[in-house]
Amino acid sequence: MKRNEIKIDMDDIQVIFGDDIEYFNSTLNNVYCTNCGGSYDKTIVNYTAYLNNLNDIVLKGECKTCSGKVGRYLETGESKERFPAADHVRIIKKNFKKI
Ligand SMILES: [Zn+2]
């Protein structure tokens, strides 16, 4: 885990995406695997989600097809609707660490 990445869970992702959670779910099936090649049609499984310092979400997991390492980057930090929610999650997580 990089220094500026905060580990988040499914509840946090739900907060960030809100009604758009379907979009998040669909991105899980649009993953590129260097091992399998081809296009962005692989599924990421057993992933861990992180929020980076740009408030983008980084998923790190395994390719469902070959179990190779894959990642998925979601530019939530670029979204006007999602950025405040992502920022909110970041602040909560940081405060939680201090306790
Ligand atoms: Zn693969």
Q: How far is the CA of 25 from the centre of ligand 1 (A)?
A: 19
Distance between CA 71 and CA 9 in Å, rounded?
A: 16
The sheet that has 6-8: what strands, in order across it? 6-8, 44-51, 57-63, 69-74
Q: How far is the CA of 84 from the centre of ligand 1 (A)?
A: 34
Going from the Cα of 35 to the center of ligand 1, the distance in angstroms, rounded, reads 5
Cα-to-centroid distance, 6 and ligand 1 (Å): 26
In the block, which residue shows the tokens 């988040």? Answer: 8
Q: For the chain, which residues make up each domain, given as ranges?
A: 6-94
Q: What is the pLDDT of residues 21-80, one digit of tens each?
A: 999 999 999 999 999 998 899 999 999 999 999 999 999 999 999 999 999 999 988 888
The separation between the first and the last C-alpha atoms of the chain, rounded to the nearest angstrom, is 21
Q: What is the pTM of this model?
A: 0.86
Query: Which amino acid makes up residue 10?
Result: M
Tokens 């980084």 belong to residue: 58
